[in-house]
């Protein structure tokens, strides 16, 4: 004889359904079907579920975080003489006792955490795709645009902020290349210039060239060339009208925190 296993949840009900499937898989030759009833937030829906279970020789499992809802399910189980298993309540009670903390009792937090994870992954992929001015289209799609001369930590900063779920594009500023038009189309508050002293940049670039086995006196690290780039950067920043942050003596994390505080304001 077939019957239906009703799974009720105050969220989407995936947890309850997965547990029901896992349990049913241990019984061969059974033809019990699973029917999910999500977003249960009132007594009428619970009563309807028990009526259905009664009519279809079924049983119920539920994941409801509110204690009053769980108690109501137990009362209805006795009233309708239908089996109803609380999949979440006993675990919440044991955790509360062990942690000596009250649960938030907010439905759907698992899926909010999942959503948070996917937003972070999406932001990281965005940062990679629109790194170093590869595609100017990203400037208009970004939550934040970083601009600066070479070796001002634009890429690691973009990645760090991506882990905070911010979609960041970064654009190198080079005297010989006109900045993309899109850079002047985004609101100035969405753009941040990364400023650095010529002395610090000279040191960074010289060490970088040496690490690559190249001559540390190459044009890339010459003080005259660096000053030319900084002057051009200042001109672009003034035209955009965006804020700047001096990264000369800041770690990536410090700069990121300054940016996050600016965004909050």
Which of 82, 107, 132 is the last residue before a domain boundary? 107
Which CATH number covers residue 117?
3.40.50
The distance from CA 15 to its chain's CA centroid, rounded to whole angstroms, is 21
What is this structure's pTM? 0.62
| 151 marked as part of a ligand binding site | yes
| 155 marked as part of a ligand binding site | yes
The verdict on 129 and 65 lying in the same domain is no
Range with the poorest average pLDDT among 1-5, 107-111, 260-264: 107-111
- pLDDT-based confidence at residue 29 (cuts at 50, 70, 90): confident
The verdict on 71 and 146 lying in the same domain is no
- Mean pLDDT for 76-87 is 96
Which of 107, 134, 162 is the last residue before a domain boundary? 107
Predicted pLDDT of residue 14: 84
Predicted pLDDT of residue 113: 61
Over residues 34-52, the pLDDT tens digits come to 999 998 989 999 999 999 9
What phi and psi, each to the nearest 5 degrees, are found at residue 34? -105, 130
How many domains does one find in the chain? 2
| 252 marked as part of a ligand binding site | no
Angle between helices 223-240 and 198-211 (to 10 degrees): 120
Predicted pLDDT of residue 111: 62
Distances (CA, A) of 97 to 74, 102, 104, 106, 168: 22, 9, 14, 18, 43
The verdict on 148 and 259 lying in the same domain is yes
Over residues 122-145, the pLDDT tens digits come to 999 999 999 999 999 999 999 999
Predicted pLDDT of residue 1: 58
The verdict on 169 and 202 lying in the same domain is yes
The verdict on 256 and 137 lying in the same domain is yes
The secondary structure element, H or E, covering residue 37 is: strand 33-37
Alpha carbon distance 36, 97 (integer Å): 30
| 152 marked as part of a ligand binding site | yes
Which of 71, 90, 107 is the last residue before a domain boundary? 107
Q: Which stretches does DSSP call E strand in the chain?
A: 4-9, 33-37, 59-63, 84-86, 144-148, 168-172, 191-195, 243-246
| 261 marked as part of a ligand binding site | no
Alpha carbon distance 67, 71 (integer Å): 6
Predicted pLDDT of residue 215: 82
| 149 marked as part of a ligand binding site | yes
Q: Which domain covers residue 68, as residue numbers? A: 4-107
The verdict on 145 and 95 lying in the same domain is no
| 154 marked as part of a ligand binding site | yes
Over residues 96-119, the pLDDT tens digits come to 889 998 888 777 666 666 677 788
Predicted pLDDT of residue 118: 82
242: tokens are 């965006």
Give the residue, 31 or 36, on which the prediction is more confident: 36
| 208 marked as part of a ligand binding site | no
Mean pLDDT, the chain, integer? 92
Alpha carbon distance 58, 110 (integer Å): 28
């Amino acid at each position: 004889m077939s019957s239906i296993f009703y799974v009720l949840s105050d969220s989407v009900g995936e947890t309850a359904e997965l547990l029901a499937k896992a349990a049913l898989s241990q019984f061969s030759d059974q033809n019990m079907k699973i029917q999910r009833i999500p977003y249960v937030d009132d007594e009428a829906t619970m009563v309807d579920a028990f009526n259905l279970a009664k009519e279809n020789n079924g049983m119920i499992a539920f994941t409801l975080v509110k204690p009053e809802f769980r108690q109501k399910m137990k009362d209805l189980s006795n009233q309708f003489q239908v089996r109803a298993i609380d999949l979440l309540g006993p675990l919440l009670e044991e955790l509360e006792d062990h942690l000596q903390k009250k649960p938030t009792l907010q439905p759907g937090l698992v899926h909010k955490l999942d959503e948070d994870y996917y937003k972070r992954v999406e932001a990281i992929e965005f940062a990679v795709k629109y790194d170093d001015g590869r595609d100017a289209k990203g400037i208009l799609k970004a939550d934040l645009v970083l601009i600066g001369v070479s070796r001002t930590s634009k890429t690691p900063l973009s990645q760090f902020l991506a882990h905070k779920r911010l979609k960041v594009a970064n654009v190198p500023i080079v005297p010989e290349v006109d900045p993309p038009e899109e850079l002047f189309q985004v609101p100035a508050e969405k753009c941040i210039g990364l400023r650095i002293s010529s002395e610090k940049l000279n040191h960074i670039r010289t060490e970088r060239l040496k690490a690559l086995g190249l001559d540390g006196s190459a044009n890339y690290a010459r003080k005259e060339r660096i000053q030319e780039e900084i002057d051009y950067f200042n001109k672009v920043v003034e035209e955009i009208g965006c804020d700047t942050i001096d990264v000369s003596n800041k770690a990536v994390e410090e700069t990121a925190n300054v940016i996050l505080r600016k965004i909050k304001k």
